[in-house]
Structure 1
Amino acid sequence: MRTVVLAQSQLRLPDASLFTPEQLDAEIAIMPKGKRALIHSLMGKDHAIAMPERQAQWEAERTAFKAVLEKHGVEVFRPRLLTEYEKAAGGKQGYSNDFVRDPWFTVGNYVIEGSLMFPQRRHEVLPSRNIMYAEVLPAACTYTALPQPEIMPLEVDDGGPGPFLEGGDVLVYGRHVFVGHSGRASTLQGAEHLRKLLAPSGYTVESVLMKPDILHLDCTMGMVREGLLAVYADGLLDGVPKALANWERISVSQEEAANLGTNGLPISPTVYVTDPFFKRIGDEVAKHGIRVEYVDFQISRGFGGAFRCSTQPLWRETV
């Protein structure tokens, strides 16, 4: 990894009045049980205002992560902060600027703006646009965006008007692209849009079906380096994809996966970043001659994302 965008830490969750109790429980069911009460308490509130000390800890996590990236020679960009106008425009749906992996992503020489299922996240790409204008438009690459999703009721959660395609569901292995599908984020229509875009350049796009209690593909499967996979295999309805079936596996438990155990970030084939909460996984990674860097990311993980979710690589060298 040579250049990466590292997320900011801004979040206001939607008003609870937008959900029935059953809908709200269903939406946060992907979170570990110990984190759900926090989400309930933050509905309709800006995290920085409601919990300033916790906000400072959250920002410190990203600062510590930035230091690790830069120590290993990675150039780090940050999205700008949301304007007050953008926050106000979110209305009861709230706003977010905290996980840069999902609103846009890169596949080879393609930079693609996705389409997010949660309404409060659909403008999350905007704080990264200045980086795209400065770094992407002048480059020899394709820059495109999926169609804007239609407005849909909350209960239409799968296969609806979309298309939805989120970066956390997109894992790239050479010319093979895996797109997760659990009904929580990316849809099969989103994968079809990606397939149509990439096929002329020789890419294969494969949909990977997951259990409905998993948000994104990188919450159940992570490529540590060539030939080594961290995976919660029981979360994959059809098992590990055939293209990765012969890779050596570090098995991740359901509890570890729910806490983002597969969401570490490989900086290079010899350096991997994870949380000390996953020391067991880190020890397994280290057995393969890989240096493991640990950063406490408990606040970020409490919102459903870790190291991969918090970063968007602009430039990786092929090794």
Structure 2
Amino acid sequence: MLKLNITSETAPLKTVVLGTAKSNGPVPKLEEAYDPKSAEFIKSGTYPKEEDMVLEMEAVAAVLEKYNVQVFRPNLIEDYNQIFTRDIAFVIEDKFIKANILPDRDEEIEAINHVIDQIDPEKVITLPEDAHIEGGDVMPYKDYILVGTYKGDDYKEFITARTNMKAVEALQELFPNKKVVSFSLRKSNDEARDNALHLDCCFQPVGKDKAIIYKGGFLIEEEYEWLVNLFGKENIFEITRDDMYNMNSNIFSISEDVVISEKNFTRLNTWLRQQGIKVEEVPYAEISKQEGLLRCSTLPLIRE
């Protein structure tokens, strides 16, 4: 049995599910795009090629192996995008929470049944049907569970709005000992630079007490300020609108001292090294064209 344990973003990683780019399927039609960034690359004819994405993901697998992390991969579904495992489920404490995601993506969770079967069934949680949530919006940090959401009445009009307040309330019920804090994110169906698809697209804790943040990803300035105060201004790396577009806040921590980051994130990677964090650089620019990066393609199950 897998004894799940996730209470932070940066504790030493033991076990993870890493997505796969194999048999990714044909280039989607424009109307099939789930986010504005994918749509942009479909339009320009530069949508990522499967062989390039496979190489990028294998580079991540190699880094995880180097640090003796146990890595599960999804079973292959022919012609299906299975890169972003963070969307389909997430772990908090010892609970595996299935995400209620876009209905077109139901099959993705079935492809990791070989992993779910190793978890105590009582710890596998399905939220109420009207509670929409994706793992990219959920971050445990100390006594908090930080959650990205969208509260607008026009929620249904945004394919980019993935987590609603019903889900935030459901998390508070599941974890009464935690403070669940929600953040309203900026959404756009057609401009990727103004779309914080998930909380991890504009914020992520890193190291012992540091964070990466993009102010423009937050709709309500007080909520952004609350996060800055939580970490302290001197511990925060502010990213730009273009940095967010390139997914600078979507790196992935193996521990407080080691992160996997995209090799082109020069400014960020320099800052991380200045904080005493070892940066394992990988190429991930092709996958980033689908508005997801390293945190999106990993589903951590056990951290120390």
Smaller-chain TM-score bracket: 0.7 to 0.9
| Structure 1 residue aligned with 2:295 | 308
Structure 2 contact 209–231 (Cα < 8 Å) conserved:
no
Residue deviations 1:129-159 (CA, integer Å, cap 9, x gap): 111102x238xx72111234xxxxxxxxxxx
The residue identity in structure 1 corresponding to 2:14 is R
| Structure 1 residue aligned with 2:105 | 121
The 5-angstrom pairing of residues 156-305 of structure 1 reads: 162-182=130-150, 183=155, 184-199=161-176, 202-212=177-187, 213-236=195-218, 237=220, 238-242=223-227, 244-246=230-232, 248-305=235-292
Higher RCO, 1 vs 2 (CA within 8 Å, ≥6 residues apart)? 2
The 5-angstrom pairing of residues 92-171 of structure 1 reads: 95-116=80-101, 118-134=102-118, 136-137=119-120, 142-148=123-129, 162-171=130-139
Q: Give the 3-state SS of the residue equivalent to 2:299 in structure 1.
A: strand
Query: Identity of aligned pairs, percent?
Result: 28
Structure 1 contact 11–98 (Cα < 8 Å) conserved:
no
Match of 1:80 among 56, 63, 75: 75
Deviates more, 1:7-16 or 1:54-63: 7-16
Q: Give the 3-state SS of the residue equivalent to 2:265 in structure 1.
A: helix
Q: Distance in 2 between matches of 1:12 and 1:112?
A: 30
- TM-score after normalising by structure 1: 0.77
The residue identity in structure 1 corresponding to 2:115 is I
Asked if 1:59 is matched to 2:54, the reply is yes
Residue deviations 1:170-225 (CA, integer Å, cap 9, x gap): 011133101101351101111111111111xx122111111122100000001112
Structure 2 contact 28–42 (Cα < 8 Å) conserved:
no
CA shift for structure 1 position 8: 1.1
Deviates more, 1:121-130 or 1:242-251: 242-251
Q: Distance in 1 between matches of 2:72 and 2:18?
A: 6
Structure 1: runs of 5 or more not aligned: 19-23, 88-94, 149-161
Q: Distance in 2 between matches of 1:37 and 1:210?
A: 21
Change (3 A) 1:41 1:126: farther
Q: Distance in 2 between matches of 1:115 and 1:294?
A: 32
Tell me the C-alpha RMSD between the 2 structures.
2.3
CA shift for structure 1 position 16: 4.8
Deviates more, 1:274-283 or 1:121-130: 121-130
Residue deviations 1:11-43 (CA, integer Å, cap 9, x gap): 56765567xxxxx7xx643x2xxx64423478x
Q: Distance in 2 between matches of 1:63 and 1:292?
A: 17
Residue deviations 1:61-80 (CA, integer Å, cap 9, x gap): 11111001111121111111
The residue identity in structure 2 corresponding to 1:228 is K
Change (3 A) 1:191 1:146: same
CA shift for structure 1 position 249: 0.3
Change (3 A) 1:14 1:187: farther
Residue-pair matches, total: 268
Q: Give the 3-state SS of the residue equivalent to 1:261 in structure 2.
A: coil
